[in-house]
Structure 1
Amino acid sequence: MSAAPLETPEPPRVSRPVMKLVERAVRDFALVEPGDHVAVGISGGKDSLLLAAAMLELAAREDMGFKVTLIHLDQNQPGFDREGLNAAMARLGAPLEVIDRDTHSVVQKMLKPGQIPCAICGRMRRGILNAYCAEQGYTKLAMGHHLDDAVETYFLNLLFGSRLDPLKPATPASTHPVTTIRPLILVEERKIEAWVDEVGLMPVACPVCDSFPQSSRRDVKAFWQGFSELAHRDVYASVREALYGDPAVFSDVSVESA
């Protein structure tokens, strides 16, 4: 007697409150248009996993009219949990395109003593992903930046960059016909953390970034988290409306390098 085939679990669904925020961002900032082919950047972290699930749900709707492909840049970082990423993708039920580029060795050679690699790595990663998307005909590159990232970026620019410059929902590349979009820009990080716990997904950490506990962004993150926990009101709702309540402010978005 043959054994019954194992049932494949349904991909995890995103909660309705979070999907409403994603849909609002997509609609208010015109992040996706009919005919778009969106590449969703997957690092394996919690943000990119929720982003993948949300974009797959939106793309499955007949009224949206766009396609989605999940892509991952393998930077050849020692200690990266490849098996963990594969398991997360299997849980999401979606194939993953892998781009193999040894940026890790290049970044290590460029670092000065004591320098944190994240900024150099980020610029190199954006350049590779933009070029790849242009070559493959992807019109948009979706990244998993959320509302907490936006708040942290705002404070970093204010305190260390001498400018009032929030993270933009969409940023066209300067050298390629690709626009980076941020569908999670209105979603709090705490909701993303709650989702991965609820659906049982195991995010994959960056083996390089997490080895540098001291950075200005981490300091700002700790300040914001502490303040939001002590506040006696929903500061996230206030910040969301202050930064992104008027879509017209972002109608003429600036261009990112690479």
Structure 2
Amino acid sequence: MNTVLPLAEPASRRDPRAAAREAAKLAKRLRHQVGKAIADFGMIEDGDRVMVCLSGGKDSYTLLDILLQLQKKAPVSFSITAVNLDQKQPGFPEHVLPEYLRSIGVDYHIIEQDTYSVVTRVVPEGKTMCSLCSRLRRGALYTYAEQNGFTRIALGHHRDDMVATFFLNLFFHARLSGMPPKLLSDDGRHVVIRPLAYVREADIAAYAEHRGFPIIPCNLCGSQENLQRKQVQKMMAQWERESPGRIETIARALGDIRPSQLADPALFDFLSLGRRDPGTPPPDAHAWLAGEPHAPPGDGS
């Protein structure tokens, strides 16, 4: 997500030395959090070729920047290539990303694919384009990764994105699922990683402001962001104002799942729990619903 959060005070109005110290502490914290996520979930191995998906938003800029810093002292050797998909939205500043990527000396590639025309043709006017646009973008990036031998696809989703996705699935799809830090694609061909899994969006916004990344807005297509996600983000922001630290608590809870305390028989064997006679199959749901009597033990009838 590329939501820009308001900062308490512009860095230019603070004491330059204090601002520099704060920026250094923030960078150190982000490196620690990203490094811990990589280690906790085994995101990057020796010899990996990591494709960093760069959208031009604060999240993906920060992801690329921190990974490049970690690469210099990492315990394993891996390569980084920044990849952007130019979807041909009207007014897209095509020069911004190539100029920035050349300036920092990172390997990069720009994919040009006119998904904008497809989306505007298929989606009725006034409806959100984000879902279809996202699917087409993912398909293009996956195809490029496969054709060029990348072993990891790194995305810029952060802690708040992961919590918001959990609530979206809970409220609107009646399931407990979310956005995992590491994912194998449905076809088994791609490993997707989210190294910002432990990072707060507010910290990313502050870091991007300090680094002066050339942000490209995600509103060029004129589409409205998913209203359900907006509702969840508004709820989360209110929670954080009223009870600071609540989002962090929820994020940590997503990593402490207890199947026996939930109600999914596919994850926990409730049928066998406490059974006195494991050798006898229990009556099925049909028998219970139909009210069919069960013959008592020793009944010869």
Residue of structure 1 equivalent to 2:141: 129
Partner of 2:92: 80
Alignment of 1:152-167 (within 5 A): 152-167=164-179
- Comparing 219-228 with 152-161, which one deviates more in the overlay? 219-228
Q: 2:250 aligns with which of 231, 234, 239?
A: 239
Aligned CA distance change for structure 1 residues 30 and 124 (closer, same or farther; 3 Å) = same
CA distance in structure 1 between the aligned counterparts of 2:240 and 2:99, rounded to whole angstroms: 33
User: Could you state the TM-score of these two structures normalised by the residue count of structure 1?
Assistant: 0.83
Structure 1: runs of 5+ lacking an equivalent? 1-11, 247-258
Q: Which amino acid aligns with 2:96?
A: G
Contact 1:145 1:185 in 2 (8 A): yes
Greater RCO, CA 8 A, separation 6+: 1
The higher radius of gyration belongs to: 2
Report whether the alignment pairs 1:114 with 2:114. no
Of 234, 257, 263, which aligns to 1:222? Answer: 234
Task: Compute the RMSD of aligned alpha carbons.
Answer: 2.1
Partner of residue 292, structure 2: none
The 2-side partners of 1:87 and 1:221 are apart by 33
- Structure 2 residue runs of 5 or longer lacking an equivalent are 1-22, 258-301
Aligned to 2:15: none
Residues 180-219 of structure 1 deviation map (CA, whole Å, 9 limit, x = unaligned): 1100011110000000111222311123466415611112
User: What TM-score do you get using the length of structure 2 for normalisation?
Assistant: 0.72
The answer to whether 1:183 aligns with 2:191 is no
What is the rounded CA distance, in whole Å, between the counterparts of 1:230 and 1:201 in structure 2?
Answer: 31
SS for the counterpart of 2:139 is helix
Figure out how many residues of one structure are paired with residues of the other and give that number: 234
The residue that corresponds to 1:195 in the other structure is: 207
> Which of the residues 41, 48, 52 maps onto 1:40?
52
Q: Residues 90 and 221 of structure 2 are in contact (CA less than 8 Å); yes or no, is this contact kept in structure 1? A: no
Supply the distance in 2 between the matched residues of 1:148 and 1:62 (Cα, whole angstroms): 26
Residue 245 to residue 64, structure 1, CA distance change in 2 (3 Å): farther
The corresponding residue for 2:38 is 26
CA distance in 1, matches of 2:188, 2:114: 22
Percent sequence identity over aligned pairs: 33
In structure 2, give the amino acid aligned to 1:240: A
1:131-174 Cα deviation digits (max 9, x unpaired): 11011000110000001111110110000010111211111123
Q: Distance in 2 between matches of 1:239 and 1:24?
A: 18
The 3-state SS of whatever aligns with 1:106 is helix
Within a 5 Å distance, the mapping from 1:39-58 to structure 2 comes to 39-58=51-70
Partner of 1:244: helix, strand, or coil? coil
Q: Which runs of 4+ in 1 moved over 6 A?
A: none
